[in-house]
Amino acid sequence: MGLKLDLHGFSNREINIIYNMVDDYIKLMKVDVSNMQLTIANIPARVCPITCPKRLNVWLQVDCAIYLCHQTNYWCQMIYQLAHELGHFFMKCYPEKNNFKWISECLCEMCSIVFLYRSMTFFKYFEPSYVNSAQGYINDHLQKSLSYSALTCSKLVANAIEALESDPTENGTVGRPRNCYIAAKLFNAVGYDAMGMSAICLFEDLSRAETVKEFFDMWLEKCRSDDEMYFVQTIRETVGI
Ligand SMILES: [Zn+2]
């Protein structure tokens, strides 16, 4: 896979899943991560998972560290958390401007759903009983978003834009129902093969944008393929920007 992984606090089964998942992620992102070092550790006592790039944490010995906090061998929870944090890793933890962070948070949440679906293919061969668990985990998660269920995604974004900009991570809210609802809508629009999802690697200098519209214009301009352009357009239409 090229990327040097350094794992702490995982069972052998979890390590197997992580290697498969990271490999799949890299292929989807079409990005060169050879020579990069990533530490992933599970610290169940943490309150929430976090991604720490060296850029913002100069003390780090590696390029990036991801800390998860799933219960041991609760694979769906691990995949959900890790897929979200790997999203931040591939975005290089951009955009930095606070009023654009909801875009990356909702996309990372979408990555969780994408990879839970993709894990079903993996589990079909290695752990068939887990195929249903992955679906059940997504359903449970979405149950928390029921209060939004009458809204289209663009309507929700329009109604909640101030909250999205000031509180992109839904601080203190269990299950992040708002972001999860938006993520599920994004997932419905892009599907689990997530063509063009590598566009999330292009966030690095989009913080220069002044408005969300400008952010999407600049993002679209940076796309390297028709798939990426299609992906960005689809996301843009779904959130109604
Ligand atoms: Zn996040």
DSSP string, 174-220: TT-HHHHHHHHHHHHHH-TT-TTGGGGGG-TTGGG-SSHHHHHHHHH
The least confident of 42-56, 85-99, 163-177 is: 163-177
Where do the structural domains in the chain lie, given as residue ranges?
Answer: 4-90, 98-239
The least confident of 118-127, 143-152, 232-241 is: 118-127
Q: Are 67 and 46 in contact (CB under 8 A)?
A: yes
pLDDT at site 173: 86
Nearby residues of 15 by Cβ (< 8 Å), 6 or more positions away: 7
125 C-alpha vs ligand 1 centroid, how far in Å?
A: 30
Tell me what the pLDDT averaged over the chain comes to.
94
189 C-alpha vs ligand 1 centroid, how far in Å?
A: 20
29 C-alpha vs ligand 1 centroid, how far in Å?
A: 18
Q: Which of 86, 66, 88 is nearest to 10 (CA)?
A: 66
pLDDT at site 129: 83
Model pLDDT for residues 99-137, shown as the tens digit of each residue? 999 999 999 999 999 999 999 888 888 788 888 888 899
Rounded Cα–Cα distance for residues 60 and 112 (Å): 26
92 C-alpha vs ligand 1 centroid, how far in Å?
A: 12
Exposed / middle / buried, residue 73 (Cβ in 10 Å: 0-12, 13-18, 19+): exposed
For residue 42, list its beta bridge partners: 68
Model pLDDT for residues 174-228, shown as the tens digit of each residue? 889 999 999 999 999 999 899 999 999 999 999 899 999 999 999 999 999 999 9
* Whole-number Cα distances in Å, 187 to 9, 12, 127, 177, 199: 30, 30, 24, 15, 15
108 C-alpha vs ligand 1 centroid, how far in Å?
A: 6
Rounded Cα–Cα distance for residues 84 and 81 (Å): 5
In the chain, what is the straight-line distance between the N-terminal and C-terminal CA atoms, in Å? 36
169 C-alpha vs ligand 1 centroid, how far in Å?
A: 7
